[in-house]
């Protein structure tokens, strides 16, 4: 039972004198209550609850500790949220904010739109300026379109920002939600269809912003971010007659300065893929005419016809399908147009995400728990933890969030693609457990913890959660961001998303006992688990996971990109995947004891040697700077680490990677990075053959694979006959192949073998002990949330 604590009378009198709250009898224990019918001048008891969580928080301030924790019980109901609940400082530690047992509590960052305030479009009187855009609604859809005057009720309408891969994340525009389902911003084409090079071609392709990052510029500087935003966007030519017949309404005519709100879109965008097929972007439609479509804002990568795959979005003239909506923000009109499912708003609960901040921010606190709450609707992140210690998110449902559901720590302003990108303020031993995170524009849990310079662990844990329908608005926003050192993502069910599930940027991560299903469905050249561009992301373990139904078109289950090293992948079941494993020029990656079923390629490789051993290698500046940042001894400034920390790295990893002290970036005697092959320095052997050169894919292992209806490992075909096997002769050893699961006595439904009859008992490299170990440690019943 909580210890009984009496509030001193003097404190109550001082609070009254200060005008903080009216004088009231104080609660007599460390349990206080909040209810919809509560009062802020209440006592906080079950019979006399507070009206707000903030008031309950303040009532417990300074009264709780590790041995005297507090509880804020929130009674049943929907609590409309317009500001972040800040839980900051030692005085607010050791408090649990929980739904009262057996009751449903929702914090809503959405504004419910009153059914009687909707009008049919045909009922809008003519001549009102704020409804001037109604003329753009397609005639065929107009009878089923409803409107709502958001501005008249002061409902925030937000704005569309320039978001996308490598751009700084900003809140997204408010989203319309009907019966808990996010509706579609009016677009063309509808559904999953996209505009591609058969419809629209690139006429002018200015440099992308990526060309102005420090690793791409001659002087090694990065263009200031605001200057990047002012770079020109691509110009397109419409080639498809069907598109040509309608695109002229998507923006003002070229040569004019202002759009006609009755005829032309005022804030249309192109959203999708522009310069590649793995990182999304968006540009504003600036003007149209003469079969050309001009855009403002640059693309991140140079636009090319090959990768064109996008929609025209936020276009009222394309509001022609059930579930589409549009908000006219021009000149503060703030009017909503909506084509509801079934052509009526009757009987539907319709709301708009009007909140643009976290529901909770836990900062510099210890032992705080959020438990059993539903957090519904923000254009930002739902829960943020900064410098928090041993805090827990337990049993939450988080939905309709435009960015990440939970963020532990933060990132600096540097862009992820350059070496200066760092995370901080992650704290230690925070947990996200037993929660359901879904319908997310961004990712699930941003997990940044630990210090890579010193290898101090973060020890954050994300486990027993269901995370699905994420990355709806942005790519590279996974279910689990694993950043820093020593964090864990286990026993989760991650499913149904267009992009990756896990991104690793750090060391000593554990990704285990998860179900990964139906992922990377709308991207290519991507992985369910992705890591890369750093030789020092070491000892990341991927074990006892199920990968099932992974999107095709060049995707893989585990993607070890651009020198990724030290990955350990063991005891996983890959089922219906295109590529199982991708090794790209890294060191000491080990994949052992995995089962592959109906996988097109067991895996494949890619070498820096391709195209004639060219120097510098791809992304060389970033991989070299990141290598030096951790393993080049110095004073710890610039791209160096302290000698003490480097020695700590060697001690930590010396047994696992015995040659780590000898790894080197190819350089001449004076320390200058090799840019050409010489006869006495920077020789071919020094750069391209020595297994300690970071450009050589050495000491990689692929062994004890069980291949059921699965293709071979696909070696590179553009590196002069070289492959990962050239440098690792025993690569892909002990690979048992059978066309069907029955021939190996393997049950795909349980993930186990019949220990009595499986031929693996007699196979070299396997045997009865291997089968017993697999069956004991890998069963599908033991994977995913409990």
Contact (Cβ atoms closer than 8 angstroms) between residue 562 and residue 527: no
Q: Residues 6 or more apart from 420 whose CB is under 8 A from it? A: 214, 412, 414
| pLDDT at 28 (0 to 100) | 46
pLDDT tens digit sequence for 482-510: 999 999 999 999 999 999 999 999 999 99
Rounded-to-integer distance, Cα 755 and Cα 774, Å? 10
Rounded-to-integer distance, Cα 555 and Cα 558, Å? 9
Rounded-to-integer distance, Cα 77 and Cα 37, Å? 10
Q: The tokens of 217 are what?
A: 């510029």
Crossing angle between the packed helical segments 643-653 and 620-631, to the nearest 10 degrees: 90
Residue ranges in the chain whose pLDDT is less than 50: 1-28
Cα diameter, the chain? 87
CB atoms within 10 A of CB 331: 11
Rounded-to-integer distance, Cα 630 and Cα 647, Å? 11
According to DSSP, the β-strands at 360-363 and 235-238 are unpaired
| pLDDT at 180 (0 to 100) | 87
Count, residues in the chain = 786
| pLDDT at 21 (0 to 100) | 44
Contact (Cβ atoms closer than 8 angstroms) between residue 310 and residue 273: yes
| pLDDT at 125 (0 to 100) | 86
| pLDDT at 16 (0 to 100) | 33
- Long-range contact set of residues 454-457: C-beta below 8 Å, sequence gap at least 24: 454/645, 454/648, 455/485, 455/507, 455/508, 455/645, 455/648, 455/649, 455/652, 456/485, 456/486, 457/428, 457/485, 457/486, 457/487, 457/508
Coil, strand or helix: which one is 781? helix
Rounded-to-integer distance, Cα 528 and Cα 478, Å? 9
The full 3-state SS of 658-712, as one line of letters, equals: CCHHHCECCECCCCCECCCCCCCCCCHHHHHCCCCECCCCCCCEEEEEEEECCCC
Verdict on whether the full-model pTM lies above 0.75: yes
| pLDDT at 365 (0 to 100) | 98
Rounded-to-integer distance, Cα 184 and Cα 314, Å? 9
Rounded-to-integer distance, Cα 415 and Cα 393, Å? 28
| pLDDT at 24 (0 to 100) | 45
| pLDDT at 29 (0 to 100) | 64
| pLDDT at 554 (0 to 100) | 85
- Alpha-carbon distances, residue 606 vs 160, 564, 586 (angstroms): 39, 12, 9
Rounded-to-integer distance, Cα 721 and Cα 581, Å? 21
Residue 48's nearest CA partner among 30, 69, 59, 32 is 32
Adjacent-strand bridge partners of 517: 495, 548
Q: The tokens of 472 are what?
A: 């709806």
| pLDDT at 416 (0 to 100) | 81
Adjacent-strand bridge partners of 708: 597, 738
């Amino acid at each position: 039972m909580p210890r009984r604590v009496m509030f001193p009378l003097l404190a109550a009198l001082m609070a009254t004198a200060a005008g903080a709250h009216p004088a009231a009898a104080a609660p007599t224990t460390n349990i206080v209550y909040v209810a919809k019918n509560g009062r802020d001048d209440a006592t906080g008891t079950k019979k006399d609850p507070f009206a707000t969580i903030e008031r309950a928080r303040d009532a417990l301030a300074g009264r709780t500790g590790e041995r005297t924790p507090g509880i804020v019980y929130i009674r049943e109901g929907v609590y409309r949220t317009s500001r972040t609940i800040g839980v900051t400082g030692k005085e607010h530690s050791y408090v649990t904010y929980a739904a009262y047992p057996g009751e449903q509590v929702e914090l809503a960052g959405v504004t419910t739109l009153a059914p009687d305030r909707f009008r049919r479009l045909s009922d809008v009187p003519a001549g009102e300026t704020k409804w001037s855009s109604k003329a753009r609604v397609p005639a065929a859809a107009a009878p089923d379109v409803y409107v709502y005057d958001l501005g008249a009720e002061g409902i925030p309408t937000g704005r569309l920002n320039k978001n996308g891969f490598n751009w700084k994340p900003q809140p997204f525009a408010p989203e319309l939600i009907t019966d808990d389902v996010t509706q579609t911003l009016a677009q063309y084409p509808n559904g999953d269809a996209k505009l591609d090079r058969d419809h629209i071609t690139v006429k002018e392709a200015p440099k992308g912003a990526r060309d102005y990052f420090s690793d791409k510029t001659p002087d090694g500087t990065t263009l200031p971010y605001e200057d990047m935003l002012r770079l020109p966007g691509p110009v397109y030519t419409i080639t498809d007659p069907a598109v040509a017949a309608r695109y002229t309404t998507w923006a003002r005519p070229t040569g004019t300065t202002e759009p006609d709100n009755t005829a032309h879109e005022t804030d249309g965008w192109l959203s999708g893929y522009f310069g590649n097929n793995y990182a999304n972007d968006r540009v504003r439609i600036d003007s149209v005419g003469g079969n050309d479509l001009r855009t403002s804002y640059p693309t991140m990568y140079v636009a090319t016809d090959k990768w064109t795959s996008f929609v025209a979005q936020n276009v009222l003239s394309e509001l022609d399908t059930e579930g589409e909506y549009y908000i006219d923000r021009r000149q503060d009109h703030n009017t909503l147009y909506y084509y509801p499912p079934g052509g009526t708003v009757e009987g539907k609960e319709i709301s708009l995400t009007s909140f643009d901040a976290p529901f909770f921010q836990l900062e510099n606190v210890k032992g705080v728990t959020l438990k059993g709450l539903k957090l519904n609707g923000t254009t930002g992140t739902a829960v943020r933890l900064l410098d928090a210690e041993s805090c827990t998110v337990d049993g939450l449902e988080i939905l309709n969030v435009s960015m990440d559901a939970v963020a532990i720590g933060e990132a600096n302003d540097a862009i992820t693609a350059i070496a200066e990108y760092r995370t901080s303020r992650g704290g230690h031993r925070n947990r996200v457990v037993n929660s359901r995170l879904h319908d997310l524009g961004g990712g699930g849990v941003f997990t940044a913890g630990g210090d890579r310079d010193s290898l101090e662990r973060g020890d954050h844990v994300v486990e027993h959660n269901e995370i699905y329908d994420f990355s709806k608005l942005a790519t590279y926003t996974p279910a689990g961001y694993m950043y820093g050192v020593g964090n864990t993502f286990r026993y989760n069910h991650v499913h149904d998303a267009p992009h990756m599930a896990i991104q690793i940027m750090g060391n000593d991560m554990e990704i285990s006992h998860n179900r990964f299903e139906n992922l990377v469905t709308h991207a290519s050249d991507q992985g369910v688990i992705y890591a890369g561009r750093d030789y020092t992301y070491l000892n990341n373990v991927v074990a006892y996971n199920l990968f099932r139904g992974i999107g095709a078109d060049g995707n893989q289950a585990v993607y070890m990109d651009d020198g990724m090293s030290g990955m350990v992948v063991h005891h996983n079941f890959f089922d219906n995947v295109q590529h199982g494993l991708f090794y790209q020029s890294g060191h000491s990656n080990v994949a052992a004891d995995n089962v592959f079923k109906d996988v097109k390629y067991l895996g494949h490789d890619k070498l820096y040697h391709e195209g004639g051993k060219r120097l510098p290698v791809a992304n060389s500046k970033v991989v070299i700077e990141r290598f030096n940042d951790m393993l080049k001894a110095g004073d710890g400034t610039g791209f160096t680490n302290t000698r003490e920390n480097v020695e700590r790295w060697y001690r930590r990893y010396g047994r696992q990677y015995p040659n780590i002290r000898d790894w080197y970036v190819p350089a001449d005697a004076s320390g200058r990075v090799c840019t050409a092959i010489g006869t006495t320095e920077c020789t071919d052997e020094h750069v391209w053959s020595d297994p300690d050169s970071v450009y050589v894919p050495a000491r990689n292992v692929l062994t004890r694979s069980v291949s059921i209806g699965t293709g071979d490992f696909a070696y590179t075909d553009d590196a002069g006959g070289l492959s990962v096997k050239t440098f690792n002769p025993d690569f892909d050893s002990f690979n048992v192949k059978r066309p069907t699961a029955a021939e190996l006595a393997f049950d795909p439904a349980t993930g186990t073998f019949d220990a009595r009859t499986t031929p693996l008992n007699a196979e070299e490299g396997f045997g009865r002990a291997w089968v017993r170990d697999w069956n004991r440690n890998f069963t599908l019943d033991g994977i995913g949330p409990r």
